[in-house]
Amino acid sequence: MTPLGDLLLRRIAAGGPISVAEYMADCLLHPEHGYYTAREPFGAQGDFTTAPEISQLFGEMAGLWLAQAWIDRGRPAPFCLAELGPGRGTLMADIWRVARAVPGFREAARILLVEASPKLRRLQAAALADAAPRWADRAEDLPDLPLFLVANEFFDALPIRQFVRDPGGWRERQVGAQDGRLAFGLGPAAPIAALDRRLDDTAPGEVVEICPALPAIAGEVARRIRAHGGAALFVDYGGWHSRGDTLQAVRRHGRADPLDDPGEADLTAHVDFEALARAAEGCAVSALVPQGVFLERLGITERAQALARGLSGARLDSHVAAHRRLTHPGEMGTVFKTLGIASAGSVPLPGLHPWP
């Protein structure tokens, strides 16, 4: 058992089982043993790779998306260029580089990174040394400025609660202890008001998930966009609705048991984009568009071909593979989805058609 596992077993022995959300929160962000606080998760040496780490193409498309959205909204200056959960800072660094091509954008931008992990903040500072970023702990600390924001694989890292439908209501899935090891169990059945409408589309025995932090964070972003103008792009894996148990652990690029090695594996859950769209009420919300379709609409293939002209041999092969990985339906192209929000009544967002 990991040091965090021992700590959790002691806490459970003293206070009883904890919710999946409490378990996930400690595994990811425990100040000493949390996965994001203590480890270097990304890249070939780490546990998983994200789109910006696969190729500069992803950040370039995101940068052009933000710049076009900014131009379409009258080039407000100054404005806040923000990212939620920037990881190693690669995405924002690519955005910053490509934005050099857009007159006035960099001069008007004030970069704000919402990041909980001090360790990752240091990596972000190094990646963005020429961009003078600032940091915030929470979305509530975003400034009162027009807001142009991106978040890639951020919401999937937020803790979720899981409920199993039961004839007598909903039973919360919990993490307890059995024979000296962490084990899943179920709490008592109770009605849950937030899940009332899920009685229509689930049957007893089915699992639904709620991400308690998501409405607050997405709502905060939407509130600023309503008040000051702007746009936000959310990219994540998930779908339109929470359905089933999607809690997943990844370690060294492979699936692991979520209760093995707490603090040493990445834990994620599918993002419920309907909950994101609901939290953005009052904004214009786009349809949910698969990542591959979105990137194609923005011209990723033309850009990939232009970059390919300067490459040969193994570098060309890996460039072609990266383009395929980001866009192909069998890879990240359909599992990952994009959703955009903007101030109501404004020009449609690049690459995203309006929500019907």
**Which residues of this chain interact with ligand SAH, rule CB under 6 A?**
29, 36, 42, 50, 52-53, 85-87, 91, 114-117, 120, 152-154, 157
Enclosing H/E stretch for 46: none
Question: Which residue's CB is nearer to ligand SAH, number 52 or number 263?
Answer: 52
At closest approach, how far in Å is the CB of 312 from ligand SAH?
Answer: 28
Nearer of residues 51 and 284 to ligand SAH, judged by Cβ: 51
**What is the spatial distance between Cα 114 and Cα 149, in angstroms, rounded to a whole number?**
10
Closest distance of CB 291 from ligand SAH, Å: 12
Q: Which is nearer to ligand SAH, 79 or 154 (CB)?
A: 154
Shortest separation between residue 213's beta carbon and ligand SAH, angstroms? 7
Element (H, E) at 123: helix 118-127
Alpha-carbon distance 229 to 68, whole Å? Answer: 14
- In 3D space, the residue among 322, 268, 307 whose CA is nearest the CA of residue 44 turns out to be 322
Sequence-distant (≥ 6) Cβ neighbours of residue 119 within 8 angstroms? 36, 37, 38, 40
Q: Which of 83, 86, 78 is nearest to 126 (CA)?
A: 86
Closest CB to ligand SAH among residues 108, 113: 113
Q: Smallest distance, Å, CB 292 to ligand SAH? A: 17
| DSSP label of 329 | I
C-beta of 6: minimal distance to ligand SAH in Å? 23
Question: Residue 84: in which H helix or E strand, if any?
Answer: strand 79-84
Rounded CA gap, 91 and 89, in Å? 6
Q: How do the residues of the chain divide into helix, strand and coil, expressed in percent and rounded to 5? A: 40, 25, 30
Q: How far apart are CA 315 and CA 353, in angstroms?
A: 35
Nearer to ligand SAH, 73 or 272 (CB): 272
> Smallest distance, Å, CB 177 to ligand SAH?
26
Considering beta carbons, is residue 85 or 230 the nearer one to ligand SAH?
Answer: 85
